[in-house]
Structure 1
């Protein structure tokens, strides 16, 4: 890692609720940096809005850009908290494992999982685990709903590694499938990451059409047969939309009624 960047991050990580402000001298003493070096680091962090001065007192606290980044990180945890009751209901309806995923860098990360109660079930993608964005419905649905201009950048950095004989490793084939995912509103994968596993996923989008997360139903290939995919796609899209509405609902209304109602009865074959 670049040494200046590393030292700048060390400065930021000093700040917490117990100690929200420091002088340059205090930072230098804590990190065993020279005062001149610490001043340069602090000045750079102020320039990027990550630190700010406290009314000319000589003390520095976290700036608005640090707050913005913190809120973005917090949003992912909020999404998982809000989504969990819907995920449990969807798992009961489908009798399959339900996943909540999000984009982290150039990867898909699992934020939450509700396992099927069936004795044979999907249980491999655990919370905190990461996967490339090109393989599996839970990943592809995220990539599909990112701006198309980002596809090549992500795929160039990460490549298209093969996990099974079913993994898509040709960029033109993947792009065509991503466009189809956008058109359908859901993604389907057939044993692309793990043998004998199929999955259906839909995006969770805000009111501006921006990607928040992905919602996935995954299970053994013999249960998620191809005749079931379309009805599962509709069901997962419905629950993704319900989660999105709940996320954007004012907090006071959300507190008054957090119980999830089953407004979408299970369809035959779903």
Structure 2
């Protein structure tokens, strides 16, 4: 693919990302937000509308549910989703909290499935949502089972962004914590991504000990004391172990 073609694809997806993140917009509005010529944005929008991924109503453009269709198709191809998705509801019922299944994709932690227990706090989490690996319990559970050189490459590419005043931003501290996670079999973050929330996560490995994802339970810090943390850690570790066995039969 030529450099011109590369730039065209990049520009098209910049427009898509802008619409996805900030909602609808007119041509001039989008051009200003993206610092691109109005005529260029207009041409890209017309092409995207023709594909069915963008729609226009009263000169306002927005993304369509075609992206939802594509995402769901990919999600159902994931072996770990096939194995875990039905069991997340049981975990949510047992803990009463917010439960997610996450994977690593393109150096980020991505939500694949969500279930909310009867006491769950609404975290506005949804399948496809992304977050830094180092700032979330499931991300750290995943990093802990990656080769150290790959973890360093992710740090070099993505950095250690500070999401709250408790986020780990020192690589040495992160590597120390990853070692502890491997030893204890689960990861925890205490307000590292969302202030006031505690998240506990266990890694899901396959029979070759390759990391496939992580199961995570999140709840308010005021509700998840030390005793409950141990209880939830046992639940997510047990669920991850069952998933590991079931992956052999997918």
TM-score (norm 1): 0.64
Match of 2:97 in 1: 96
Q: Report what 2:86 is aligned to.
A: 85
Q: 4+ residue stretches of structure 1 with deviation over 6 A?
A: none
Answer whether contact 2:75 2:112 (CA < 8 A) is retained: no
Q: Is the 8 A contact 1:96 1:122 kept in 2?
A: no
CA distance in structure 2 between the aligned counterparts of 1:153 and 1:166, rounded to whole angstroms: 23
Q: Alpha-carbon deviation of 1:193? A: 0.6
Partner in structure 1 of residue 129 of structure 2: 129
**Structure exhibiting the larger radius of gyration computed from Cα positions:** 1
Q: SS in structure 2 opposite 1:162?
A: coil
- SS of 2:99's equivalent? strand
| Structure 1: 5+ residue stretches without partners | 10-72, 252-270
Q: What is the distance in 2 between the residues matched to 1:129 and 1:2? A: 31
Cα distance, 1:87 vs structure 2:
0.9
CA distance in 2, matches of 1:206, 1:239: 13
Hey, what's the Cα distance between the residues in 2 that align with 1:92 and 1:239? 13
Distance in 2, Cα, partners of 1:211 & 1:75: 18
Deviations 1:105-149 (A, max 9, x none): 11111000101222x514233210111111110211111111122
- Contact kept, 8 Å, 1:199 with 1:224, in 2: the verdict is no
Pairing of 1:204-215 with structure 2 (within 5 A): 204-215=204-215
SS of corresponding position for 1:134: helix
Three-state SS of the structure 1 residue aligned to 2:204 is strand
How many equivalent residue pairs?
A: 185
Q: By how many angstroms is 1:5 displaced?
A: 7.7
Structure-2 residue corresponding to 1:195: 195
Where does 1:1-270 land on structure 2 (aligned, <5 Å)? 3=3, 6=6, 77-118=78-119, 121-249=121-249
Root-mean-square deviation (Å): 2.2
CA deviations over 1:155-206 (Å, ceiling 9, x no partner): 1111111111111111111110011001111001100011111010001100
- Tell me if structure 2 keeps the 8 A contact 1:133–1:139: yes
1:82 CA drift (Å)? 2.0
Q: Distance in 2 between matches of 1:2 and 1:201?
A: 43
Q: Once the 2 structures are TM-superposed, how far is the Cα of residue 81 of structure 1 from its aligned partner?
A: 2.8
TM-score where L is the length of structure 2:
0.68
- 5+ residue gaps in structure 2? 10-73
In 1, Cα distance between the equivalents of 2:222 and 2:97? 12
